[in-house]
Amino acid sequence: MFKKILVANRGEIAVRIVRACSEMGIKSVAIYADADRHALHVKKADEAYNIGADPVAGYLNAHNIVNIAVAAGCDALHPGYGFLSENPELAEVCARRGIKFIGPEADVIRQMGDKIQARNAMINAGIPCVPGSDGNLESLEAAVVLAKKIGYPVMLKATNGGGGRGIRRCDSEKELLSNYDRVISEASKAFGKPEVFLEKCVVHPRHIEVQVLADAHGNVIHLFERDCSIQRRNQKLIEIAPSPQLTQAQRDYIGSLGVKAAKAVGYENAGTVEFLLDSDNNFYFMEMNTRLQVEHTVTETITGVDIVQQQIRVAAGLPLQYKQSEIAFRGFAMEYRINAEDPQKDFLPSFGKITRYYAPGGPGVRMDAAIYSGYVIPPYYDSMCAKLTVWALDWEGVIERGRRALNDMVVYGVKTTIPYYQQIMLHPDFRAANFNTSFVEQHPELTEYDVGLPKELMAAAIAAAIAAHEGI
């Protein structure tokens, strides 16, 4: 087993990995930019090293990060998610320097990171894919011809895209003509390659993904599925495990597809195979994420499997601790991405100092956070500052527990998505498990809530009123 692991990330996921290391008796090493000097992952790790003043570039410098790992005496590196987690260069640099990369091989990351290569691999494995281009689009003219053939709406996607970026829906030829150059530009800026492809748009699908684990000994299992249909502009907001919208037969089928996909590319470590489920109950492969997912918490909650620890074990050459027959789930889990955003202002980021923070607790409540009272949320990163995960035996129970936990959680100083999620929990369609990826856009009224007076100000006002009355 490894003795020391460098965590090449920040925020709540870095804290999560540090905790896994601690439970396994492994020393952890954090890295931080100047903006993260007072971050929680820096405080939690056994050691921490500064990576410079630039708030982003330091986390993207694979050579420098691996140099730190070598200098600190680390024998492995965990990339978390985001940043370099799906960049094959980091895995390659680790291999050259004798540091074990906790994730799949660089060739697999490269293959599955290229949407065309991934799509072709799945087609060859007999996994259903959405109709679309066989490769990168050579020109706008080729896109127009293909779109007419498969029918509108279509999706323009960056070949090396991810995280909901580099994607545009086109409902007509006019929109295709106006969006083509935009997606090319987004692909170039965000992913370094001006390559795009085209797929038939599955209208109002459900977004279902399968968590897989694979080791170097030929063992591949799935940990059931997650429903990620509650999303805004292709960015996930709420994740659920298992999906309340699937039958057992569908669950068994999509789980088998996830395992089949992992075996088809010789996958090792933790990965997620994402599918779209259309209104006719057809599953279509969308992409494979070759890393730990933000929403891994719901899968851990319903199965009891520590996915991060399994990642570390697999990277160390050990076999999976479980067989497929030993994996079962109990109840439902739901994760809320607590974003520092103002839903009433088109989800405008709301960075700044957290003046006071109260974490929820009680039965079936888990918090993954990197915030604390007095912490200043920097404006340089993703707006997600915490993840709230709740569990209950049934669907109605997990909704009610989520409502209670959201009400318990208080973040002062910045706007968050907490009140927005409270509105979703009250919506009859959500409560009836009747939703798809268009739920958020179809219900703009969910932002029309009254936040009222902050509780701390209300308490101060009441106290002042009482004091004034007693003075009389």
CA distance to 130, 134, 138, 153, per residue, from 142 (Å)? 18, 12, 6, 16
Question: How far apart are the C-alpha atoms of 472 and 467, rounded to whole Å?
Answer: 9
Burial class (CB in 10 A: 0-12, 13-18, 19+), 19: middle
Question: How far apart are the C-alpha atoms of 254 and 15, rounded to whole Å?
Answer: 31
Of the listed 226, 291, 337, 366, which one is catalytic?
Answer: 291
Angle between helix axes 106-113 and 115-124 (nearest 10 degrees) is 100
Does residue 119 carry a catalytic annotation?
no
Specify the residue for token string 């003795």: 3
Which residues belong to the active site?
291
